[in-house]
Amino acid sequence: MTFSYKIKEEISKIDCSKLERISELSGIFTTSADIKIYCIRIQTENINVANRIFKTIKELYNVTANITIRKNYNFKKNEIYIIEIKRDVLSIIKDLGLLEQNKMELSKVPNESIVSDDELKSAFIRGCFLICGSVNDPKTSRYHLEFLIQNVEFADFLCDLLNQYNLNAKVLRRKKGYMVYIKESEKISDLLKLIKAYEGVMYYEDIRIYREKINMTNRINNCEQANTFKSMQSAQNQIKDIEYVKNNDAYDILDDKIKLVAEYREKYPESSLIELSEIISIETGTKITKSCLNHRFRKIKDLAERIRNKEI
């Protein structure tokens, strides 16, 4: 059972007001129903969605829809549930806000009354998700939620509706239709909360937080490894400068304090500057800081550069 299936199963059981059910059904029909003046036909692979549509039509309009079940042999072996409404079609689509005002033509976007407040917008988006939405399991490598839409007018409408909640939704043209999608993990979680998939939100957040902890741990480890490598490279360069100065008989030019850190660097070649400062402070009884060590090694480096440039 996919994560999308579980989300649809959860939100198919939500109790809501009559107006919310009208908005939800409008979202379902606007998204992908085949609407004729004598029949409304819609299909789904999810039995929970099919039952939701059947019960909603029965309770709102006292119309018993016909449900046909057939096998889907197009790559999948899932069953397809085909719901057909053949009574009171005109009054139903009018009530769902799917007719152009003062016209007998189907509208590509619902009337304003269908999405006039936040609860109705939430119900409408939930209906869209039930019939054409999908979301990746957060355990997978990428976060992705999408709605597959047939026409650009409704794709833009749905995208704008989602972005009223700052979900950063976008529209992408596909070979067949359009995709309204969300990529950011936090925004996907916000949408699941918006459509009242609360169990899905809990699961999604648990996995997302776990993944972020793992990623943060990996980033910290990478930084630590990079810092360790950088410290080792720096220590090796310091030792090379010290050896170069000695090999060119210029070591005695350095004062005793600089010679001291040079001796400790050769004695502890793998220590970082902080570690080296602690070692010298403990063994000599004189406090020396990391910045002080940096300054003295810079003196050694400057001397080595002057020898290489034949300035000495």
Going by the DSSP 8-state scheme, the letter that residue 106 receives in this structure is B
pTM for this predicted structure: 0.70
Nearest residue to 245 (alpha-carbon basis) of 233, 264, 258? 258
Q: Rounded mean pLDDT of the chain?
A: 87
pLDDT value at residue 124? 95
Distance CA 145, CA 134 (A): 6
Structural Rg of the chain based on CA atoms:
34
Tell me: pLDDT of 161 over 60.
yes
pLDDT value at residue 76? 59
Tell me: pLDDT of 214 over 80.
no
Q: Average pLDDT, stretch 278-298?
A: 87
Angle at 205 between CA 196 and CA 214, to 5 degrees: 165
Q: What are phi and psi of 154, to 5 degrees?
A: -75, -35
* CB distance 33 to 89 below 8 Å: no
Tell me: pLDDT of 75 over 60.
no
Per-residue model confidence as pLDDT tens digits over 36-49: 878 889 988 889 99
Tell me: pLDDT of 103 over 70.
no
Distance CA 280, CA 276 (A): 6
Helix (H/G/I), strand (E/B), else coil: 60: helix
Out of 8-12, 84-88, 217-221, 302-306, pick the least confident: 217-221
Which H/E stretch holds residue 196?
none
Residue whose structure tokens are 């003196």: 299
Per-residue model confidence as pLDDT tens digits over 217-244: 777 777 777 777 788 888 888 888 888 8
Q: Average pLDDT, stretch 149-173?
A: 92
pLDDT value at residue 159? 94
* CB distance 189 to 204 below 8 Å: yes
Here the tokens at position 76 are 């999948």
Per-residue model confidence as pLDDT tens digits over 237-275: 888 888 888 888 888 888 888 888 888 888 888 888 888
Q: Average pLDDT, stretch 26-32?
A: 90
CATH class of 3-196: alpha beta
* CB distance 150 to 108 below 8 Å: no
Q: Average pLDDT, stretch 198-221?
A: 83
Q: What is the band of 74 on the pLDDT scale with cuts at 50, 70, 90? A: low
Domains in the chain: boundaries:
3-196, 227-308
